[in-house]
Chain A
Amino acid sequence: MTPPPPSPRRANPLRDPQDRRLPRIAGPCGLVLFGVTGDLSRKKVMPAIYDLANRGLLPPGFSLVGFARRDWADQDFAQIVHDSVKEHARTEFREEVWKQLAEGFRFVPGDFDDDAAFDQLRRTIHELDEVRGTDGNHAFYLAIPPGFFGTVAKQLKEHGLTDTDGDSWRRVVIEKPFGHDLASARELNAELDGVFPPETIFRIDHYLGKETVQNILATRFANNMFEPLWNSNYVDHVQITMAEDVGIGGRAGYYDGIGAARDVIQNHLLQLMALVAMEEPTSFEPEALRLEKQKLLASVTLPRRLDLTTARGQYLAGWSGGEKVRGFLEEEGIRRTSTTETYAAVTLHVENRRWAGVPFYLRTGKRLGRRVTEVAVVFKRAPHQPFSETAVEELTHNVLVIRVQPDEGMTLRFGSKVPGTAMEIRDVNMDFAYGGSFTESSPEAYERLILDVLLGDPPLFPRHEEVELSWQILDPVLEHWERKGKPEPYASGTWGPASADAMLARDGRTWRRP
């Protein structure tokens, strides 16, 4: 999946494709982090950088520049990173690893429209190239609200921060949301596109960095026993679920007006669906993968009657996991009249030979029964049962479940004889606990993704074509919801509104309780 590092001048005699013990260490480089004080930076990005260093995957001289509107010196920034690492890093804190990193911390105070600050940023980067040997290679990580992407991109360009010479590179990393509909996604892309070439824009969908998500590809394409079943001949339907037990927490400002469909379905669930349903790529080169995902997304269609095939809801006050919780409309910062959905379910069809007639049901929500993300491939019943009707009464559909989180792994659900003299068949589960297996070496998604950014390895990052296709799928649903009705309330701690159950019941199906 990872090609050997480019060596334009001379093959490296110490590298051997057979030598698979050797990890790829990023070349000399640095990261500039915008939005240092946010949760994303402190809980994910900074700890991931430390963990990468601890695993020996960052180059000597790796540097981290913080940029924020704070009156800080370099040491204050180092202290912030130190605290975040101590609290959130996955791996053990080691003094020597900290020493390796600590000399490379810089802080640039300023606003996003402050020319002087961006000049200072340019000088800082030059200084790092001199004293830390980062060789002009820098990634800009925009952990800031998307409204500022354009401003920052423009500033970077105007102050010569995007100019490269020779072999050096500049890359930009952004996080979702990538717009709130097709038009805004295009606008956002246009703002970045003018500044950074497409192959240097890395859109992080941290779901795609998860080992279990990548394992979908391994399960499907490295094995022979699943692929023959992976089509409309055997598959009845597919359910993709991402449920959270928490409410919106402190994200009211972001969440109100965005809602579950934009927040989760547009990116995570459609990407998951693409990986589950796409055809086999010709290779695992980024371009080949992207092509297949894009093809799949392009063949996704919506049913005609959106009122019958979609559902949305808002959680009410109630009890969730033994805790008394507030309803969505009582959350701080949410308008009492908000029609933002906290639960969304859609039915999608894939118009190709493999999947014609197999609905994909995607659902996501907050304050649901438990926190779980999974893909359930539900198979058709056997066309004929030699057993009596009573014998197979408790036998439902065979299911293959890819558990993405937590408790990563795979479950196979099939019928088995109940011990005893009578022939009675009941559903049993066969579990493979992926999480229990390779946990120790299984890195956090952010580690993997940040390393891929520094290595310039883009297979796990959606390109803007995919983002736009996803909006194309979702936009009609959002418009329909906008026009008609409002979200149906559901009790916190349950599996969503009644309309979602009715939506499947119409097709003669039920949601799996994950």
Chain B
Amino acid sequence: MTMVELLDTTSSAIAAEFVRSRTRAGSPAMGMVMTLVIVVDEDDAESAMTAARQASAEHPARVLGVILGDGRGAPVVNAQVGTGSGWTGETALIRLRGEVTKHPESVVLPLLLPDSPVAVWWPTDAPADPARDPLGALAQRRITDSANVSRKKSTALRSQCAAYTRGNTDLAWTRLTPWRALLASALDQHPVKVSGATVAAERHNPSADLLAAWLEDRLRVDVTRTTTEGPGVTEVVLETKDGPIRIARPDGVLATYSSPSHPDRPIALRRREVSELLAEELRRLDEDDVYAATARRLAKPRRRR
């Protein structure tokens, strides 16, 4: 990838470099569909940019990595700008130091693609209220990852749910899609009333909490949450009058699907990479009503049993 280093620069210089590098590459047709802003620290920047590059194969985007450095001293903006080789769009990794770290939106705003949607992703720690964050406020989609925070692991999801605003989403929810798809199709095939449910997962697993909340919300039953060694969610059981519908995945890869009056069958249920989760997340940028309802339920104080 041709990377151009811009030291002590400004947004307009970065924007000019985007245009120059595009012209240098012979003005390749770029159907960039959105701007993706990644707010990350130095240590996690590389892996986050890699995941974004993989996701960019599906969603050509202008990807702006923003590293908020030390807030002391004179304000400095440094950037690496590039296009091509593995990226379907344009990319800039922008490092901020000094006072400008308090005003990152002033750097990012001029670099947003005209009219196209904006998504912000915090790969690790996220603001307590993403919608009120200066960068989060620029975006239609705010992606957090409660399973990947470095502090307050046990409460991260609940506080994100409490701060839920239209457009917020969490990769802990995205991780559930294959489980939810399988459970929904299980009930397509067994259209019977579910009288109770169990979700088993490792101890701190935001996805399992969301899954339990989703099942409670949709099925109007109590859901028992049990703890296992993991990895991730290991088993979901739906109780029906005909017997249990059970999906057990002890190894994080291959699950066994059991349902009343049917033989047990294996089904692939792999835990997905972050890049795949990100790609799914960027596929739709309107409000996820089902997540909204699930987050609301989870944010409510637990009902008495």
Contact = CB atoms under 8 A, between A and B. Distances in A.
Contact of A21 (B191, B268, B280): B280
B96 to A, nearest CB: 31
16 contacts: A7-B191, A10-B192, A13-B219, A19-B290, A24-B185, A25-B185, A28-B189, A97-B268, A99-B266, A133-B262, A432-B31, A433-B31, A436-B29, A439-B58, A440-B57, A440-B58
B29 A21 contact: no
A179 interface: no
Most A Cβ at <10 Å: residue of B59, B177, B267: B267
Given A60-B257, A60-B265, A437-B33, A22 B188 contact: no
Interface string B165-208: 00000000010011011111101110111100000000000000
Interface in B250-304: 253-254, 257, 259, 262-263, 265-270, 279-280, 283-284, 288-290
A84 to B, nearest CB: 19
Given A133-B263, A439-B58, A25 B268 contact: no
Interface in A116-134: 130-133
Interface residues of B, number: 48
A478 B259 CA distance: 57
Contacts of A409: 29, 31
The 7 closest A-B pairs by CB, nearest first: A431-B29, A440-B58, A133-B262, A60-B265, A14-B184, A10-B191, A60-B257
A25 B268 CA distance: 13
A46 B29 CA distance: 34
A437 B33 CA distance: 8
B101 interface: no
Given A13-B187, A15-B184, A60 B279 contact: no
Given A18-B290, A96-B254, A432-B29, A27 B280 contact: no
Nearest to A63: B265
Which range contains the number of A residues in contact with the other chain? 35 or more
A22 B180 contact: yes
B299 to A, nearest CB: 19
B268 A100 contact: yes
Contact of B180 (A13, A21, A24): A21
Interface string B58-76: 1110000000000000000
Contacts of B192: 10
Given A16-B290, A431-B29, A61 B188 contact: no
A9 interface: yes
B20 interface: no
Contact of B188 (A7, A60, A96): A7
Contacts of A20: 284
Contact of A14 (B219, B269, B289): B219
B292 to A, nearest CB: 9
A23 interface: yes
B289 A436 contact: no
Given A60-B265, A99-B268, A132-B265, A437 B31 contact: yes
Most B Cβ at <10 Å: residue of A9, A99, A133, A434: A133
Most B Cβ at <10 Å: residue of A14, A25, A59, A441: A14
A5 interface: yes
Interface of A: 5, 7-16, 18-25, 27-28, 53-54, 56, 59-61, 94, 96-97, 99-100, 103, 130-133, 409, 431-434, 436-441
A165 to B, nearest CB: 16
Contacts of B178: 56
A375 B49 CA distance: 38
Given A13-B219, A28-B189, A440-B58, A130 B268 contact: no
Nearest to B275: A440
Contacts of B263: 61, 130-133
A56 B268 contact: yes
Contacts, number: 134
Contacts of A56: 178, 181-182, 268-269
Contacts of A440: 57-58, 279
Nearest to A16: B290
Secondary structure class of chain B's binding surface, majority of residues: mixed
Contacts of A27: 185, 188-189
B218 interface: yes
A14 B187 contact: yes
Contacts of B177: 21-22
Contact of B184 (A8, A9, A12, A133): A12
Most A Cβ at <10 Å: residue of B177, B182, B259, B266: B266
Most B Cβ at <10 Å: residue of A21, A61, A132, A133: A21
B91 interface: no
A438 B183 contact: no
Given A100-B254, A436-B60, A436-B88, A14 B284 contact: no
B29 A53 contact: no
Contacts of B259: 133
A473 to B, nearest CB: 36
Nearest to B185: A25
B57 A439 contact: yes
A441 B270 CA distance: 17
Contacts of A60: 182, 257, 265-267
A434 B60 CA distance: 10
A396 B193 CA distance: 66
Given A96-B268, A132-B265, A12 B181 contact: no
Contacts of A432: 29, 31
Contacts of B188: 5, 7, 12, 15, 27
Given A96-B253, A441-B283, A54 B185 contact: no
Contacts of A21: 174, 177, 180-181, 280, 284, 288, 290
Contact of A441 (B58, B183, B267): B58
B30 to A, nearest CB: 8
A12 B58 contact: no
B180 A18 contact: no
A13 B188 CA distance: 9
Contacts of B194: 13
A184 to B, nearest CB: 41
A20 B281 CA distance: 11
Given A12-B191, A13-B187, A130-B263, 8 more contacts: A5-B188, A22-B181, A61-B265, A131-B263, A133-B262, A433-B30, A437-B59, A440-B279
Contacts of B193: 10
B272 to A, nearest CB: 10
Contacts of B219: 13-14
A296 B262 CA distance: 47
B268 A94 contact: yes
Contacts of A61: 257, 262-263, 265
Contacts of B267: 60, 100
